[in-house]
């Protein structure tokens, strides 16, 4: 008497092919595609308490990034400006705009505005804006062209592989240090030579050791 019917002869083969041919590759694909910050984080575009328009302020009005993000050259954080900085202009311009009610309330009652943080590296990674700005890495390299974003979104994955790509080959992202906040600066044909010169002039040796970013 046969315990197993005839078709069970094919089970091991089907399982093997199914696992290595279908389940394995598709799981690999799904994890590779959907678990990456390229998918999870890029494009994060939260609704802010005030519909602040970077395309207007940084683009059309050409206000330098550092007018508001004033600590970027000296501190690890670029800093979101205190509401008082907005009032430098908005005590004169659009004084009664309903969109700025949150701002006026913040200034009058000394309460911070709950801006939503967009670019958030994992808490075990310690990024320092000042050192990158001083090295001549443009804002646009990590943040995308903010001057064209009406609502800011995350443009780059900020993943470790992405950081290391630049740490291993920083030259393409270097620029003259007075052009760091310029969103439209383009490297010229002689960029490779210039970048190498800037690199040796500043003694740039981007670290690749774990403890450079993780402590």
Partner 1 sequence: MMHSTRRLMALAVMLMVFGGCMRGCTSPRPPIHPNPNMDLQPKYKAQAESAFFYDGMTMRQPVEHTVARGELERDPAIHEGRATDGTFLADIPMTVDAEVVARGAERYGIYCTPCHGAKGDGRGMLYERAQIESGDLVGDPRIANLPAGELFDVITNGKGLMQGYRYPVPLKDRWAITAYVRTLRQGGAP
Q: Provide the mask over 88-107, with x wherever binding to partner 1 is found by CB under 8 A and - wherever it is not.
A: xx-xxx--------------
84 forms part of the interface with partner 1 (CB under 8 A): yes
Distance CA 215, CA 199 (A): 26
Identify the residue among 8, 10, 25, 111 touching partner 1 (CB under 8 A): 111
The answer to whether 61 and 89 have CB atoms below 8 angstroms apart is: no
Q: Kindly identify the residues of this chain, within the stretch 142-171, that bind partner 1 according to CB under 8 A.
A: 153
For 109, the token pair is 């009652």
Identify the residue among 98, 112, 203, 207 touching partner 1 (CB under 8 A): 112
* Total site size for partner 1, rule CB under 8 A: 48
Distance CA 160, CA 121 (A): 9
- In terms of CB distance, is 10 or 111 closer to partner 1? 111
123 to 41, 84, 127: CA distances (angstroms): 15, 29, 10
- In terms of CB distance, is 16 or 32 closer to partner 1? 32
Going by the DSSP 8-state scheme, the letter that residue 189 receives in this structure is T
Of 13-21, 66-74, 98-106, 205-213, the window that binds partner 1 (rule: CB under 8 A) is: 66-74
63 forms part of the interface with partner 1 (CB under 8 A): yes
Helices (H), 136-183: 139-143, 160-168
């Amino acid at each position: 008497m046969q315990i197993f019917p005839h078709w069970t002869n094919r089970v091991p083969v089907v399982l093997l092919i199914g696992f290595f041919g279908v389940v394995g590759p598709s799981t690999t694909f799904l994890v590779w595609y959907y678990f990456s910050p390229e998918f999870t984080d890029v494009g994060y575009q939260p609704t802010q308490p005030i519909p602040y328009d970077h395309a207007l302020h940084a683009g059309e009005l050409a206000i330098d990034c550092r007018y508001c993000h004033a600590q970027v050259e000296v501190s690890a954080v670029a800093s979101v400006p205190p509401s008082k900085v907005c009032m430098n202009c908005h005590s004169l311009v659009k004084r009664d705009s309903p969109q700025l009610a949150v701002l006026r309330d913040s200034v009058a009652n000394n309460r911070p505005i709950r801006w939503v943080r967009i670019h958030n590296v994992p808490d075990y990674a310690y990024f320092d804006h000042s050192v990158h700005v001083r090295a001549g890495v443009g804002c646009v390299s990590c943040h995308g062209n903010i001057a064209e974003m009406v609502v800011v979104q995350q443009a780059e994955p900020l993943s470790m592989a992405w950081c290391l790509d630049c740490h291993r080959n920083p030259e393409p992202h270097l620029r003259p240090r007075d052009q760091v906040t310029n969103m439209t600066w383009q490297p010229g044909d002689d960029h490779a030579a210039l970048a190498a010169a800037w690199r040796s002039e500043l003694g740039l040796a981007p670290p690749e050791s774990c403890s450079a970013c993780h402590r």
